[in-house]
Chains A and B, each alone.
Chain A
């Protein structure tokens, strides 16, 4: 296992210029001959925020609460993160099959193909993040010391996404229906990930179930540290209708971190062990 990881990291490092070129290619192709241009990068997060607001508005109508500007901020922060995850997986899943002409003709570490999809999506999402940085102050978000958590959370998000990307690109090469399964799962995934809502809204048991999703810890962590200014090392309870409920547990972060790191390692080892079959099966 260590040998696989070692050879993978050495080869990818040796081919870092190729990774850069492929990432540039993916970015260029998204914006070449595209009517929306850079607006595309913020299009999906905008749609997520808009649908989140509709859901929250409907919930507010029933519960009698009112929508606050911080609600928009909450959804926007998690929405950008979710858009990154969905976008990267969409491109990464097809990355090996879509580059079959390369996979069957030229040798290079195949990891760079899904990695470049994640890289290109990171570029898109950084436009989304810059947009957020400009907008958030208008929604009442202030600078807190808890912002120091953001780099770690972003790193975990990229790690988790990379792990899933490596796994799915490889799976889709062997089984072409993986692409469709991923499409369907991502379409409904937004309801299984707390984007439009917070885990605490699901009740005590529901909150813990939602936390089984590794993205919950990362995205909720981002929301709490950016919008609420909460230190993630401390638990947080919110009172809903007079009953205290768990809104954050530091173990959630540890859980997401372990899953992300283990996921990347596991997928990378699997990818490495199977890649000699790629040219034959693609």
Chain B
């Protein structure tokens, strides 16, 4: 047994934009053209073709967890489909050692008219479980999903959350040697998500190789031990987790598919309770304002994030203006002011900001907008800051003193 679970070697995958001929009527002229001009070589692009993957190579060792990250359209799904044998690479080759289990759209095998029980057997065998394995794990699957008494109800009457939980629970009992996971952690409520993470950590501890595709950098950082960043089909970075994740954020602004309104951040201001100083006390109230403009009328989604040492501390990417929309006309400027208690421990933080279009691909982006230093606080050391106060001191039940600390924080 080799210690490499997956090895991909210079894999290229070609796709065609737009419609293919998909009726017999169109086939005849296409075949005639092919006979007259000969089939195009595999490594060349015809009009309308594009490379979804370009020269992708990587190895995953047995028991490792690789996070595959990248912006939409980077080729993550194509890569997964090649690994799960759904697509064949145009050029290049890959080998996998071990039974592969894929958690990609876990409810794909469900039939809405069948009951939960029937779907467990159906979906279980679709993803490659043996009948006796399903029987053995049936109770565990039902238990994990939390479906309970609804197991004999047709799944068309389930809520979408129940559906996804049942699908995930079936897949979770597959016990693969290589697990491929695509954004399934976004299903279900928080309790269920916690369950899923614990389950994946258990698998990793038992030596399962995991390939994890996600937009959720926290999940990638906590589960994986290495990462691969894809950008327009190319491997932009691979290897050390923190570096690759940082690169993911840096690459954001470069991704410009169709330019429409091209919103742009013009100015950024920062202030805290002690003025515009870039050194603040932990827990200080800080205000962060950014101004932007756009080339066309558009609806914008500004946001910011805070990084420390390559790790994301917080990210409002999907805050969507906390429910407010921000419309802007061509040539106008708009600004947004965020305020927050900087409840972070001592250290150096990079505040990055971005502005994107609602539903659009383009966003302007800078990962190191402002460098803020949080000063040491004598009260707390460690990974996080809490606004710790000593309220009262007693001795043998007798109040010695009652302290009302005033840390000088603006409220």
Residue numbers of A with Cβ under 8 A of B are 15, 17-18, 20-22, 24-25, 28-29, 32-33, 101-102, 104-108, 174-178, 181, 276-277, 279-281
Contacts and interface: CB of A to CB of B under 8 A. Distances in A.
Given A106-B126, A177-B25, A281-B20, A28 B114 contact: yes
A108 B122 CA distance: 13
Interface in B114-138: 114, 118, 121-122, 125-128, 130-131
A106 B130 contact: no
Given A17-B130, A175-B27, A177-B24, A106 B109 contact: yes
A25 B113 CA distance: 10
A28 B118 CA distance: 10
B349 to A, nearest CB: 41
Contacts, number: 75
18 contacts: A15-B125, A17-B131, A18-B126, A20-B125, A22-B122, A28-B113, A28-B114, A29-B111, A101-B105, A102-B109, A102-B126, A105-B104, A106-B104, A107-B85, A175-B24, A181-B24, A276-B87, A279-B81
B86 A105 contact: yes
B122 A105 contact: no
A277 B16 CA distance: 13
The 4 A-B pairs with the shortest beta carbon distances in the complex, nearest first, are A105-B108, A279-B86, A107-B85, A276-B88
B24 A102 contact: no
A172 to B, nearest CB: 10
Contacts of B27: 175
A8 to B, nearest CB: 15
A21 B126 contact: yes
Contacts of B118: 25, 28
A25 B111 contact: yes
A146 B126 CA distance: 42
B90 to A, nearest CB: 11
Nearest to B23: A177
B291 interface: no
Nearest to B133: A17
A24 B113 CA distance: 13
B300 to A, nearest CB: 34
A21 B125 CA distance: 7
Contacts of A174: 22
Main SS at interface, chain B: loop
Contacts of B122: 21-22, 24-25
A175 to B, nearest CB: 5
Nearest to B104: A105
A22 B109 CA distance: 10
Given A21-B121, A22-B122, A177-B25, A107 B86 contact: yes
A67 B12 CA distance: 69
A24 B123 CA distance: 13
A106 B131 CA distance: 18
B373 interface: no
A107 B111 contact: no
A270 to B, nearest CB: 15
Contacts of B105: 101, 105
Interface in B81-106: 81, 84-88, 102, 104-105
Contacts of B131: 17
Interface of B: 15, 20, 22-25, 27, 81, 84-88, 102, 104-105, 108-109, 111, 113-114, 118, 121-122, 125-128, 130-131
A280 B15 CA distance: 9
Contacts of A32: 113-114
Contacts of A101: 105, 108
Contact of A107 (B22, B24, B84, B130): B84
Contacts of B128: 18, 108
A136 B128 CA distance: 44
Contact of B22 (A102, A175, A279): A175
Contact of B87 (A17, A20, A24, A279): A279
A32 to B, nearest CB: 6
A22 B87 CA distance: 23
Nearest to B15: A280
Nearest to B25: A177
A18 B133 CA distance: 13
Contact of A25 (B24, B25, B84, B114): B114
Contacts of B25: 177
A29 B126 CA distance: 17
Given A28-B118, A106-B126, A177-B25, 12 more contacts: A17-B125, A17-B131, A18-B126, A29-B114, A33-B113, A105-B86, A106-B109, A175-B24, A176-B22, A177-B24, A178-B24, A281-B20
A28 B108 CA distance: 18
Nearest to A14: B128
Contact of B126 (A108, A177, A277): A108
Contacts of A277: 88
A25 B131 CA distance: 15
Most buried by B among A18, A29, A32, A178: A18
A106 B87 contact: no
Contacts of B121: 21
B23 A176 contact: yes
Nearest to B119: A25
B184 to A, nearest CB: 12
B125 A106 contact: no
A75 B25 CA distance: 38
Contacts of B109: 102, 105-106
A106 B127 contact: yes
Nearest to B154: A32
Nearest to A33: B113
Given A107-B85, A279-B81, A279-B87, A102 B114 contact: no
B67 to A, nearest CB: 21
A255 B111 CA distance: 41
